[in-house]
Structures are given as structure tokens and as C-alpha cells.
Amino acid sequence: MTAKIHLDRQHLQGLYRQMLRIRRFEGKCVELYQDQQIRGFLHLYDGEEAVAVGIMAALQPQDAVVATYREHGHALARGVPMDRLLAEMLGKVEGCCRGRGGSMHIFDQQHRFFGGNAIVGGGLPLAAGIALADRRLRPGSVTACFFGEGAVTEGAFHETMNLARIWKLPVLFVCENNLYAMGMPLADAEAETEIFRKAQAYRMPAEAVDGMDPVAVEAAAGRALEQVRAGGGPFFLECRTYRFRAHSMFDAQAYRSRDEVQAWKQRDPLERLAGWMRSNHMLAPDDEAQMARAVDEELAAAVRFAQAGTLEPVADLERFVCMDSVVQEVVQQALQGSTA
């Protein structure tokens, strides 16, 4: 495989800016959640930015993306507009799913972003189906499927690995191994802790990569995608990463120590890349200040857009919903009762 990336100043600064957008966006989501403007569950991506940014940099516009419930970073890196993403999280009609998806079910047809999935491992068989369809309808396209290491305990993981390999589906499987799934140390849950070896058991090419380094992730993804596009079938990447925040806003994090979190923060993907660029004269203080200012302005505009958005009228709640006549009658009765 000969895929290469160009480590020029513009490209590296682009990777850094994308990670900065995700980091600042997630920080703002915490504020909005604590202010009860974002409701329900909220799973943040701080610390894992290098995975989404590195993979998306290697994809092409015709490729498809299937994400997890921790997908804000994936959506931003894929190109979903920040304002429409935030409006979705605030439940507004102006959101990319009219406010019906919320934090865990982001979808954007224009960017072939086939959403997050609240079911652990639920996106795996969907990715196989999309890839099967694309092989006929969009030759040369690849489906990138993100999931956490906790998903490898699901039957759907093994079924998808098996079928993807048998059918030689054009899928790039991306396991974001952050060591704890929801709150279980990997060594307590898996006899084989090198996750990529599970894919090798299905005779699928697989490798592990430093998921705290966007350049390493992009390079590995480039090599993998070249092989997949050439008809080699699926490829599996285990990106070893770490989430800096809790699993969700309701997680007390009793399963890991503060010292461990601080140790991983020494490998912060933003600071690692910025430090390397500074030492190689690719990132000047003015560059950092300008990028930070641009990201802050984009985020502020997104907040204004989302907060000014509208909630969907109750009368429209049945739109885009398929149901049989019995369920429809029950819903009609419930709606009539709520307005009585």
C-alpha cells in the first residue's frame, strides 16, 4: 500500500483546527446541558478527537459514515454544519433532523452521515447494509463504521465481521478503544484485549494505531482505504484512545482514578500536534490565536442560531413516522387527551 499524506503546514493546521472545533463544541455542550437547554443523555468526545479527524481526512465525499452515540465529533469532522448540529441537540426544527434525533441520533443526508446509534454495536450491521448497497449503486465508495470496544461483546459485531469478510464488503471498521466501554476496565471484560485480533480471527486485515495522534490515524486510514477501494474487502482499525470526560453526564467515574485521567491528558491530541508544529515552525502564536478566534466566533454564531430556533408543533409530531392503524389510533387518543 502506497497511500501517503502531505504533512504540509496547511494540512496540519487543518487537522488541529478540526480538533479544536470539536473540543470547544463539547465544552459548550456541557454549559448548555447544565443550563438544561440540552436534555436527555449527553456523551462527550473530549480526548478522542484525533480519531474522528484523522479518519474523516482520509475519506472522500461519496463515502458513508456510521457513527456511535458519542458522535458530535464525527459529525463536525465530516462537515455537518455546527449551527445545524447544535440546533438538533437543542431539539429545534432547524436542526439536521428537525430536532427529532437529539444528541445520540445525528443524521445528515448531504454528507452521507448515517447517524449515531443509541444501541451499542447497532451501527455495525447498518454499515454492512450500506456498503452492500453502495457496491452496486456507488462503486468505489467505502463505509466507515465507528464503534467502541464495548461493542465487540455484542453478537452483531461477530455477525457483521463474518458477513463483511465473506462478501468482501467495502467497509472500514474503526474501533475507538477508550479502555472502559461504559465503566468496565477492558481487561475485566475481554480475554483478548488487543481488539484488532478479533477481526483477524475472521481473516480480515487489521491493525492498531495510536488514536491520540491524528496524523498516525490518517496515515493508517489512508493505507486501509486504498486496499478496500481496490476490492480487498473490509479493513479493521483499532484506534487506542481515551475519553477525558465521563462516559455520560450521569457517570461518577468510580472505575478510574484522577491520576490516570491526568496521565492520559499528557497525551492530549491537540497539544501533541500543536507542540510538534510549533517546534517545526508550522504554528506561530498568531496562527493559534487566529484559529481560536475563528472557532469561538463560529461557536457563538451556532449558539445564537440554535437558541433562536423553533420547537416542532405538537400537531406535526406524527410526520415522518410509520405506524399501523392500531398504534395510530392510540396516538390520536393520547393527543386528544393532552389537549382536552
Same domain? 284 vs 319:
no
Domain encompassing residue 166? 9-309
| Same domain membership, residue 116 and residue 31 | yes
Predicted local confidence at residue 1, as pLDDT: 44
- pLDDT of res. 323: 64
Query: From CA 243, how far away is CA 230, in angstroms rounded?
Result: 34
Q: Indicate whether 99 and 182 sit together in one domain.
A: yes
DSSP conformational letter for 38? S
Q: Per DSSP, which regions of 122-169 are E strands?
A: 143-148
Q: Is residue 3 part of a domain?
A: no
Residue 4 lies in a domain: no
Task: Say which residue the cell 459548550 belongs to.
Answer: 28
Q: Would you say residue 1 lies in a domain? A: no
Q: Are residues 329 and 269 in the same domain?
A: no
Tens of each residue's pLDDT in the chain, 340 residues:
455 677 899 999 999 999 999 999 999 999 999 999 999 999 999 999 999 999 999 999 999 999 999 999 999 999 999 999 999 999 999 999 999 999 999 999 999 999 898 999 999 999 999 999 999 999 999 999 999 999 999 999 999 999 999 999 999 999 999 999 999 999 999 999 999 999 999 999 999 999 999 999 999 999 999 999 999 999 999 999 999 999 998 888 999 999 999 999 999 999 999 999 999 999 999 999 999 999 999 999 999 999 999 998 888 877 887 766 666 677 677 777 655 4
Same domain, 245 and 320: no
Report if residue 305 sits inside a domain.
yes
Please check whether residues 241 and 318 belong to one and the same domain.
no
Choose among 71, 40, 74, 69: nearest CA to 57: 74
Based on the domain organization, do 336 and 268 belong to the same domain? no
**Separation between Cα atoms, residue 195 and residue 167, nearest integer Å:** 22
> Does one domain contain both 254 and 336?
no
- Are residue 64 and residue 205 in the same domain, yes or no? yes
Per the CB < 8 A criterion, the answer to whether 163 and 135 are in contact is no
β-pairing, 206-210 vs 64-66, is unpaired
Total domains, the chain: 2
In the chain the first and final C-alpha atoms are separated, in Å, by 67
Rounded to 10 degrees, the C-alpha dihedral 91/95/97/98 comes to: 60
Lookup result for grid cell 449503486: 137
Asked if residue 110 is part of any domain, the answer here is yes
| Cβ proximity of 172 and 235 under 8 Å | yes
**What is the C-alpha radius of gyration for the chain, rounded to an integer number of angstroms?**
21
Looking at 215-337, which runs of residues are DSSP E strands?
A: 235-240
Longest CA pairwise span in the chain (Å): 69
Distance in angstroms (rounded) separating the CA atoms of residues 151 and 116: 14
Q: Is position 184 within any domain?
A: yes
pLDDT of residue 239: 98
Describe the crossing of helices 9-34 and 285-307 by its angle, rounded to 10 degrees. 40
In a domain, 242, yes or no: yes
- Report residue 6 as a C-alpha cell: 502531505
Q: Are residues 187 and 329 in the same domain?
A: no
Beta bridge partners of residue 237, listed in sequence order? 174, 207
- C-beta of residue 234 within 8 angstroms of C-beta of residue 204: yes
CB 38 within 8 A of CB 103: yes
Question: Are both 50 and 127 inside the same structural domain?
Answer: yes
pLDDT of residue 250: 85
Residue 44's alpha-carbon distances to 107, 121, 131, in angstroms, are 17, 18, 28
Q: Would residue 2 count as lying in a domain?
A: no
CATH number, domain with residue 304: 3.40.50.970
| Residue 324: per-residue pLDDT | 67
Q: Quick one: 235 and 333 in the same domain?
A: no
